Amino acid sequence: MADNIEKVKCLIIGSGPAGYTAAIYAARANMAPILYQGMQPGGQLTTTNEVENYPGYPDGITGPEMMIELQKQSERFGTDVRDGWVTKVDFSGPVHKVWVNETTEIHCDTVIISTGATAKYLGLPSEQKYLNLGGGVSACAVCDGFFYRNQEVVLVGAGDSAAEEAHYLSKLCKKVTMLVRRDAFRASKIMEARVRNTENIEILFNTETDEVLGDGQVVTGVRAKNKVTGEKFDIPATGFFVAIGHKPNTDIFKDYLELDETGYIIKTPGTAKTNVEGVFVSGDAADHVYRQAITAAGTGCMAALDAERYLASKEVHEENEVA
């Protein structure tokens, strides 16, 4: 055991809308929260160039700017925001033990997990280039589709999420070209039928992405490859959407928390409670359906309120035992 163990009332693991909102509520409830930002301070929104669908920003705001404002707001109420990431946990006993950067040991009365999820990408250099430039590569049609109104876009994916995002984009865009690597969808029959029956969605089976084309600043098209014939051809497009899934950042919790088959943390419906008392979850680490900043913030609020009530009930129980 470490000689200098830090004891805290509320530890928040991860930043982003969920973590910072949890911190705001926890700090205002005098829980003295400590928040570790993780490997991607600010979460996925730091890779989003423009946020226009979060209430309170009539002119829009960039993702990084929004995260800076949320961090300042949490710090205003006394949140201790720290660099570093959690590398190990032990939720087996009455004390929740957490290790940061493999060295610092913290004992927590409550833990709020806001580690989010990471979008899966193809890994092509050209894809990553335009993703980092904010010039036309996205893993969230609901977030970014609005910017491609009346334009032509390409979407990669074959599951229910891909079909749903393609259908969503079809309502905004002139044309949506779906690239499906195999000769069939993985999506449910009803979702497959929906995209097949949408006039401005073209589906190309046995087709994969060879390169994302651009002018050095923004996407101008996609070079695709037919896996059967080997033929390569260019598709004009201003947007390239990747819908091949997300991976929740929950690996370090798998020995203690109930996870679904994909790795999302399972919580008690209508709450932020996990299967371990005093450990709560918010944001995309438990949400594979909505994955929006506003829903993440809402669950951050829920987690902090649940943590506050847990501590209050624990204090009452301890007082009764003493009496």
pLDDT at 62: 86
Domain positions in the chain: 6-118+246-322, 121-242
Residue 182 pLDDT more than 70?
yes
Q: Clarify whether 10 is annotated catalytic.
A: no
Which structure tokens are listed for 205? 């089976």
H or E stretch at 43: none
The whole-angstrom distance between residue 51's C-alpha and the CA centroid of its chain comes to: 15
pLDDT confidence tier of residue 143, bands split at 50, 70 and 90: confident
Strands 219-226 and 232-236 turn out to be: antiparallel
Residues in the chain: 323
Q: Reply yes or no on whether the pLDDT at 323 is more than 60.
A: no
- In this structure, which topology does domain 121-242 adopt according to CATH? FAD/NAD(P)-binding domain (3.50.50)
Let me know if 144 is a catalytic residue: yes
Rounded mean pLDDT of 216-222?
96
The yes-or-no answer on residue 301 being catalytic is no
202 DSSP β-pair partners = 177
pLDDT at 2 over 70: no
Write the DSSP string, 135-177: SSEES-HHHHGGGGTTSEEEEE--SHHHHHHHHHHHTTSSEEE
Q: Is the Cβ–Cβ distance between 256 and 91 less than 8 Å?
A: yes
Helices (H), the chain: 16-28, 63-76, 125-133, 141-144, 160-170, 189-196, 293-322
Tens-digit pLDDT profile for residues 49-72: 678 889 999 998 988 899 999 999
Q: What was the pLDDT predicted at 43? A: 74
Share of the chain above pLDDT 90, in %: 79
Distance of CA 190 to the CA centre of its chain: 26
Domain 6-118+246-322 has CATH 3.50.50.60: yes
pLDDT digit string, tens, across residues 78-99: 999 999 989 999 999 989 999 9
Q: Rounded CA gap, 71 and 23, in Å?
A: 9
| From 10, 108, 109, 144, active-site residue | 144
Catalytic residue among 143, 173, 284, 287: 143
Any idea which of 27-36, 101-110, 169-178, 196-205 has the lowest mean pLDDT? 101-110
Q: Which of 37-46, 146-155, 249-258 has the lowest mean pLDDT?
A: 37-46
**pLDDT for position 315:** 79
Calculate the alpha carbon distances from 168 to 144, 146, 150, 172, 303 in Å.
11, 10, 13, 7, 30
With 80 as the cut, is the pLDDT of residue 181 above it?
A: yes
pLDDT computed for residue 321 by the predictor: 66
pTM, to two decimals: 0.82
Q: 6-118+246-322 and 121-242: same fold?
A: yes
Mean pLDDT of the residues in the chain: 93
Instruction: Out of 90, 140, 160, 301, pick the active-site residue.
Output: 140
